[in-house]
Structures are given as C-alpha cells and as structure tokens.
Amino acid sequence: MLPLQAALENNKIPIDSFARGVYLAVKSPRAMKKQIDLVMFDLDGTLAATGRDLANSVNYIRSALRLDPLDDKLVYSHVGRGVEHLLRMSLPENSQDRFKEIMELFLKHYAEHLLDTTALYPHVRETLEYFEKKKRVVVSNKLHRLTVPILRGLGIEACFDAVLGGDSAAEKKPHPGALNRVLADFRIEPARGLIVGDGDADIEAGRGAGVHTCGVTYGLGRKEELVAARPDYLIDDLSELEKYFY
C-alpha cells in the first residue's frame, strides 16, 4: 500500500478513499481530477480562522460567571456543531438552568466582536476564484445571522451563490439535511458535489448526502477525529483542491 504522499508524487490518486489505500495510476493531470459542479464549504476552521474570537466570547461569559478562563485550544475543540454545543461544553452543569440567558449574552458579545481577530486562511480567495464557474455555497453550523457578517467583513460574501447557517435547515451537520437542500435547490447530482470542512461533522454530513468529502487539517477540529471520519480526501492547504477537482 502506497502512502498518500508517495502516491501523489508518482501521479497516483485514490480511487475511492485515501483511507483504503487503493490507487489508480494515471498519465494526464486532467485525468487525475474529478469534475464537480458544486463546492460546499464549512466556515469556522475551513474558510476563516474564527477560533480566537469565539474563545474570547466564551471566556467573557465564564468571567461573568466568575469562572476561570479556558485554554483557547480547548474551546476550539468544541467548535463546529453550533453555538449551543459550544457553550454547553464550555460551562459547568450548574450553569444549565440559566442557559437561555447565558446564550443571549454570548450571542450579543460575539456579534460585537466576531471580526476582532478573525481572518481568512491562506489561499481562500485564490481557491474561490478557481471554482468561480461552479456553484459555491457556505454550509455552516454557525447561526446564519452571524455567518453572513463574517463573510461580508472578510470580503468574500459575493463569492457565494448561497449561505446556509445552522438555523437554515431543520438539523445541523452531521445531519445531511442542509447539504441535501443545496443539492436540490441547484439541481445537482450528489456525485458532482463536494463538501470541504475541518471537522468530522462535515465529513459525516457529506457522506450522508452522497457527495465527495474533503477534510482540511489546518482548522479548528481535532485532526484525529477528522481522520477517523475517513474523508475521501485530506489536504493541508485549501489550494490543494485544485489537484483533485475541476
């Protein structure tokens, strides 16, 4: 079984999944790529480094509750399944009876500080430009009213044909509902769709929807959980998408 890097260096790519260790030798660069019509991107940890601003708002809440701050990396590990999950995992059980009040305070603080340090990851703009003739959609578990201002503030809102937040469908990722909605709205077959994300929830949602899945290792999610989710592709830089898709 060839390691993934060796396979790439020898002009080989996975037939189904890198995790299966099965590769197909090819001759032309175009033959190495899969044609797609739709790219769905996660936001937090995939397009934008939002972790520090989220951690600051979590620790603002903890300070208000007279709790010690959490390490940023611990907060990052809870990002990706929506704000309710983030807060519940970041607070003690005895805070749950005031959860609605705490949530409102968190959302108010975060809405005022969501672009303090948040920035695009390397090569996001170039990758979006590469896929400019495809449908490009953001599918995030972050509330829609928080997702759009981040995209707008970072100057990439106009790059997308649609933006879905965690409240845009009945279920959040890892449920495939939001992805299925995008496929239906744009009348695209699952085999011509792709989901890109840094968390296992993105990969599980993509598998449920029947689209290609690609994990990014540079994000906020735990790499071991991402690998365990068995994405079809695993990349260290968003620009690597150009190697596999056109």
Cite the active site residues: 42
Contact between 39 and 194 under an 8 Å Cβ cutoff? The reply is yes
Backbone phi and psi for residue 130, each to the nearest 5 degrees, phi listed first: -60, -35
The full length of the chain comes to 246
The β-bridge relationship of strands 135-139 and 119-120 is unpaired
Residue in 242, 227, 199, 205 with CA at minimum distance from that of residue 79: 199
Instruction: Tell me the three state secondary structure of residue 163.
Output: strand
DSSP assignment, residue 98? G
3-state helix, strand, coil in the chain (%, to 5): 45, 15, 40
Secondary structure element (H or E) that encloses residue 97, with its range: none
Question: Could you give the angle at the alpha carbon of 49 between the alpha carbons of 44 and 51, nearest 5°?
Answer: 75
Question: Could you give the angle at the alpha carbon of 208 between the alpha carbons of 206 and 190, nearest 5°?
Answer: 65
Sheet holding 193-197, edge to edge: 162-164, 135-139, 38-41, 193-197, 212-216, 233-235
